[in-house]
A = this chain, B = another copy of it.
Amino acid sequence: MARPREFDEDRVITAAMETFWRHGYEGTSTRALCESTGLGPSSLYNTFGGKRQLYLRALRRYYETSTAEQIEILRGEGPAKQRLRDMMVHAVDADLDEADGRGCFAINAAVEIAGLDPEVKDAVRRNFDRVEEELRAVVAAGRRTGELRSTADAGSVARRVQSTYYGLRILARVQDDRQALLDTVESTLADL
């Protein structure tokens, strides 16, 4: 019937995600996308519709990979505090170790475009809401076992952890002192 695609759509989206992640939306040119994906501009446009839509796909892919990984850590087997620690230490190390500071794609999207593009805002909110949900489950579990002593509403404790976590990732963009960041993690966990 027709000529078949010469590329794997998933690989293309992953490559586009890496590029957007590193350089942001405005900082990424269609040319850069073509180079990183290996596609010509016409294939990109025919398949995905354009830069903006590809960005949205990339954001969804981030959710399916990195955020999913994060959620898996939160659903681990150890004590609640250890799972929260794992999540935060993992993020700090990722932010500091990577040669080019790309941080968290969802946060980057929230800062760069959520204010301008409602669809991006929605996608990021869904991502954040999902993380909050998982954090609430961890807090609830830790409280059931008596590990966490805080008596406040599990939801607001979860949001507090989430805020601290996202804030840490912001600080890690300009702060190279790993120990200071880890101290903040421990200080947070100690008071739960």
Q: Which residues of A contact B (CB under 8 A)?
A: 22-24, 26-27, 100-103, 107-108, 110-112, 114-116, 121, 124-125, 128, 150, 152-153, 155-157, 159-160, 162-168, 170-171, 173-175, 180, 183-184, 186-188, 190-191
**Min distance, Cβ A166 to any Cβ of chain B, angstroms:** 4
Q: How far is the CA of A187 from the CA of B27 in the complex (A)?
A: 38
Which 4 A-B residue pairs are closest in the complex by CB-CB distance? Answer: A101-B115, A163-B167, A167-B167, A26-B26
Indicate if the CB atoms of B184 and A163 lie closer than 8 Å.
yes
9 A-B pairs with C-beta separation under 8 A: A108-B112, A121-B174, A124-B174, A128-B171, A162-B171, A163-B184, A166-B170, A166-B171, A167-B168
In the complex, what residue of chain B is closest to A151 when comparing beta carbons?
Answer: B190
In the complex, what residue of chain B is closest to A191 when comparing beta carbons?
Answer: B191
Contact A183 B167, CB 8 Å, known A111-B107, A115-B103, A175-B128:
no
Indicate if the CB atoms of A159 and B187 lie closer than 8 Å.
yes
Q: How far is the CA of A175 from the CA of B114 in the complex (A)?
A: 10
Residues of B near A124 (CB, < 8 A) are 173-174
Indicate if the CB atoms of A174 and B26 lie closer than 8 Å.
no
**Min distance, Cβ A7 to any Cβ of chain B, angstroms:** 27
Indicate if the CB atoms of A170 and B110 lie closer than 8 Å.
yes
Residues of B near A128 (CB, < 8 A) are 171, 174-175
Indicate if the CB atoms of B168 and A188 lie closer than 8 Å.
no
Not counting A26-B26, A160-B164, a sample of 16 additional A-B residue pairs whose C-beta atoms are within 8 angstroms of each other reads A24-B112, A27-B112, A102-B115, A108-B112, A110-B170, A121-B174, A125-B175, A152-B191, A157-B187, A159-B187, A160-B184, A163-B165, A163-B168, A163-B188, A164-B167, A167-B168
